Amino acid sequence: MAFQQVARRIDELADECVNFLVRICSIPAIGPESQGTGEMEKYRVIRDAVLTMAPDLVQEIHAPDDRVPDGTRPNLLAIFNGKETSRTFWILSHIDVVPPGERSLWDHDPFEPKIHEGFVSGRGVEDNGQAVVASIFAARAVRETVGFGLNVGLALVSDEESGSKFGLDHILKTRPDIFRPEDLIVVPDAGNKDGDHIEVAEKHLLHIRFRVKGIQGHASRPDLTRNTLRAASYLIVELDRALPAAFAEANPFFNPPVSTFEPTRKDANVPNVNTIPGEDVFFFDCRILPEVQVSRVIGEMQSVSRAIEEKFGVQVSAEEYLRSESSAATPSDSPVVVALAQAVQEVYGVQARPTGIGGQTVATFFRKNGLPAAVWEKILNTAHAPNERISVENLVGNAKVFAKMMI
């Protein structure tokens, strides 16, 4: 009966949820690694919404960063006391977003979110605006109706999209006592359209920067140059062939079940057409099964690079840009997984099952600190894409799942 009361209150707040999502996603919150100015403007709006609910404990654990105008990357922890005080149910969401990408692929300005026929589109509405809003309004609905059954903590953090050095990683290093092993920790930062996946395991994450150096010169005299664009192109093709073949292991617990090796970013070389470039830089994004050693992957990359050096007379370096090896999985029978599955069953009528994912979420920092965490959302899987969008139905439903766990 108590949950039905909370669910009705969330339904009453649905329009307000949508309007708040539009408001916060109208504010770019892009990190300096992606030529952004950080999260502070968006953070202030979110913080004010949380403080309006009068949390029993508020901690702002900001991380200094002189690359952004405010000189700091903001992180907020807010705790609401419940009837049971021996543990806390945490929901951690991130407030930063990725850049929009190619603007011509969007139907509208990415930072002018649109509401249309039950959907909201705009940069950051799914990753991670839906989670931010669902967690805040779930807490509000519970607070305004039946009250919290156990302590509830809202963690709203920066820098998830660029490695979490200024976000959760900073919090855990600064205040390692905040989160406890007995707490229930949910990170709504990955999911699927049916809401029946609870992510408990992740792959290793490896970003590699390849730098190809040759000899720049006039395009009419290729005999006097070493064309790095051609060498880099061959290198990408060879890596694309060699890496999946060398690391073909499969693990059906993960989706996708194999290690993946994707060429992604390509930095600009020469600005004019009639110059052969003397340097080319590109990146690979690798998501590697936990049973595969990252050092083996790097060794294979170096072997392929040596062959390209010999073929084209260039120099190739493979530099680690980001390396985060996966942590031990959250046990499938842990209290947070069990409680989350029960809440999903009641709200959505589906049996959620533990699984692994190809990506790596901010939950890995919890797991590396011995803190079991579960990653779940019901989403459309449009993160990072043009016309990123969410459904209002999922926004409201996810808030109900969180509220169910809160009471």
Catalytic residue numbers, as ranges: 96, 160
CA dist., res. 202 & res. 252, Å (int): 13
DSSP 57-93: EEEE--EE-TTSTTSEE--EEEEE--SEEEEEEEEEE
Paired tokens of 375: 């990653």
Distance CA 379, CA 362 (A): 17
Report the C-alpha gap between 118 and 116 in whole angstroms: 6
In angstroms, the CA 11 to CA 106 distance is 30
How many Cβ atoms are within 10 Å of 19's Cβ, its own excluded? 12
Amino acid in position 307: A
What single DSSP character describes residue 250?
B
What is the 3-class SS of 323-390, one letter each residue? Answer: EECCCCCCCCCCHHHHHHHHHHHHHHCCCCEEEEECCCCCHHHHHHCCCCEEECCECCCCCCCCCCEE
For residue 16, give both structure tokens: 């307000």
